[in-house]
């Protein structure tokens, strides 16, 4: 087992080679990784089965087991993500702009690699591949530190990716996995100044806050998802029901799943029974305001501010009846985490106000919050969904993993 400092030194050597690779070489490496994942799907599933068994023994809930699970369909999706990243234009070397100053200097801004990117994440083995593929295409080496819950899956995936790069004559140390899953390795990564150019946490609120509060290296903050669906007075109720059920029930364990339903008072009597009927087959537990309880009865638990601010990641949802669009927007901006918010409406003015006034990385009109995803946005894979406002916001694809430098052409100018 390589210790973290050995990995950090190897990644810093590899970053210089990766930064000089052309688009064709990087794409060749990514296609080789995709092929290796498909060819060894049974081996990946076998390693993943060990993680699932250990997870069940340790008491992981069904939502986390779902995040942890890999099957052939999900492996095919991960491999397709690699192919999509390979198909994307190479951002490295792109000149964003150039202008000529009065003294004759030509000054421009150019995209360059970050260098070495660290990612700390939890029980999501797909992140092992998504992060590695994006970092590699963005011309950087990566150091991955997954959670102990996905240890065997991540080990097998990393082994296959490194072997695929080596087969193509590319540096395997572009992709590195920290095998120490204790808290010590996380704390050490947070302080790898001089070796790590940026650190990205991807996981629950506890992990993200620990990194943000304790890291001495630069951090890009990804966020938890307390996402809302607001059903306006003018909404198409059938559409609203479909969007709500999809956003809540399709995969409740992910950060872009809906956690709260807001309904305009003029729509509540008609829509809330439809909402309850749509959510019932999945056994969704309802937490509602007093007016919601009056309409839906004893099946609704009383909702508190804690419920309205909670990311359930399970078959639970909070519900509130609001008197106006203003109240809906105020409620969302108070309780949301800046992730993804949806309005269902047929009123154009309401839709535009919602888009303008809701403070979130992704704001939807008449579509499920489940689309906040790098794959769905056409980025191939994603490194995470940033809920901060510096550098990157929303699904983080290739360009979010690059930096820039200024390039200046002169002909002898002095100051």
* Alpha-carbon Rg for the chain in angstroms: 23
Q: Count Cα neighbours of 392 within 13 Å in the Cβ-side half-sphere.
A: 22
Task: Summarize pLDDT for 176-205 with one digit per residue, the tens.
Answer: 999 998 889 999 999 999 999 999 998 777
Chain-centroid distance of CA 150 in Å reads 17
Backbone angles phi, psi at 68, to 5 degrees: -80, -25
224 pLDDT band, cuts 50/70/90, is confident
Structure confidence at residue 381 (pLDDT): 67
Tens-place pLDDT, residues 75-102: 999 999 899 999 999 999 999 999 999 9
Greatest CA separation for the chain: 81
- CA distances 397 to 136, 236, 394, Å, are 12, 33, 9
Range list of H helices, 2-71: 4-20, 23-39, 41-57, 62-68
pLDDT at position 380 over 70: no
**DSSP assigned state of 219:** B
Task: Give the integer Cα–Cα distance in Å for 112 and 222.
Answer: 22
- For the structural domain made of 4-222+396-409, what CATH number should be given? 3.40.605.10
Which superfamily is assigned to 227-371 in CATH? Aldehyde Dehydrogenase; Chain A, domain 2 (3.40.309.10)
pLDDT of residue 272: 98
3 state SS of 234: coil
Domain coordinates in residue numbering, the chain: 4-222+396-409, 227-371
Residue 286 pairs with which residues in a beta bridge? 300, 317
Residue 382 has pLDDT above 80, yes or no: no
pLDDT of residue 253: 83
Q: How far apart are CA 139 and CA 17, in angstroms?
A: 9
Q: What is the rounded distance in angstroms from the CA atom of residue 134 to the CA atom of residue 140? A: 9
148: enclosing H helix or E strand? none
pLDDT band of 354, cuts 50, 70, 90? very high
CA distances from residue 293 to 198, 290, 320, 339, 370 in whole angstroms, order as listed = 47, 5, 10, 28, 27
Instruction: Indicate the helix (H) or strand (E) that contains 221.
Output: none
Q: Which residues contact 385 (CB under 8 A, 6 or more apart)?
A: 222, 223, 225, 255, 256, 339, 361, 372, 373, 394, 395, 396
Confirm if 307 and 223 have CB atoms less than 8 A apart: no
Q: What is the mean pLDDT of residues 219-246?
A: 94
Question: What does the pLDDT look like over 51-68, one tens digit per residue?
Answer: 999 999 999 888 789 889
> What is the predicted pLDDT for the residue at 227?
97
Q: What is the pLDDT of residues 119-151, one digit of tens each?
A: 999 878 999 999 999 999 999 999 999 999 999
- Residues 14, 175: Cα–Cα separation, whole Å: 9
């Amino acid at each position: 087992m390589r210790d973290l400092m050995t990995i950090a030194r190897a990644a810093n050597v590899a970053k210089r080679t990766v930064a000089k690779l052309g688009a064709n070489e990087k794409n060749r490496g990514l296609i080789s990784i995709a092929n290796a994942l498909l060819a060894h799907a049974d081996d990946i599933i076998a390693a993943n089965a060990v993680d699932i068994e250990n997870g069940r023994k340790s008491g992981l809930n069904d939502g986390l087991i779902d995040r942890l699970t890999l099957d052939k369909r999900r492996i095919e999706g991960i491999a397709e993500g690699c192919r999509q990243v390979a198909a994307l234009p190479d951002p490295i070397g792109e000149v964003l702009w150039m202008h000529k100053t009065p003294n004759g200097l030509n000054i421009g801004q150019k995209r360059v690699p970050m260098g070495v990117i660290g990612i700390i994440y939890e029980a999501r083995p797909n992140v092992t591949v998504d992060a590695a593929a994006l970092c590699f295409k963005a011309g950087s080496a990566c150091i991955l530190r997954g959670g102990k819950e996905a240890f065997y899956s991540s080990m097998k995936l990393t082994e296959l990716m490194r072997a695929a790069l080596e087969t193509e004559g590319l540096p395997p140390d572009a992709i590195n996995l920290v095998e120490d899953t204790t808290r010590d390795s996380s704390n050490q990564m947070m302080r790898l100044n001089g070796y790590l150019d940026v650190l990205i946490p991807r996981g629950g609120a506890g992990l993200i806050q620990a990194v943000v509060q304790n890291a001495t290296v630069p951090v890009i903050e990804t966020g938890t998802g307390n996402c809302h669906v607001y059903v306006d007075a003018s909404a198409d109720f059938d559409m609203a029901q479909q969007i709500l059920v999809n956003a809540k029930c399709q995969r409740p364990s992910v950060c872009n799943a809906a956690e709260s339903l807001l309904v305009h008072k003029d729509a509540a009597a008609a829509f809330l029974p439809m909402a309850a009927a749509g959510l019932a087959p999945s056994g969704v537990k309802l937490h509602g305001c007093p007016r919601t309880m009056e309409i839906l009865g004893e099946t609704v638990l009383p909702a508190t501010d804690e419920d309205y601010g909670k990311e359930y990641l399970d078959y639970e949802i909070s519900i509130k009846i609001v008197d106006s669009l203003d109240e809906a927007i105020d409620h969302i901006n108070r309780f949301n985490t800046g992730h993804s918010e949806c309005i269902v409406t047929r009123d154009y003015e309401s839709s535009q106000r919602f888009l303008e006034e809701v403070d979130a990385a992704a704001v939807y009109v008449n579509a499920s919050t489940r689309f906040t995803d790098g794959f769905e946005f056409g980025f191939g894979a994603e490194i995470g969904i940033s809920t901060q406002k510096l550098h990157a916001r929303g699904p983080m694809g290739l360009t979010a993993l690059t930096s820039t430098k200024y390039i200046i052409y002169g002909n002898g100018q002095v100051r």
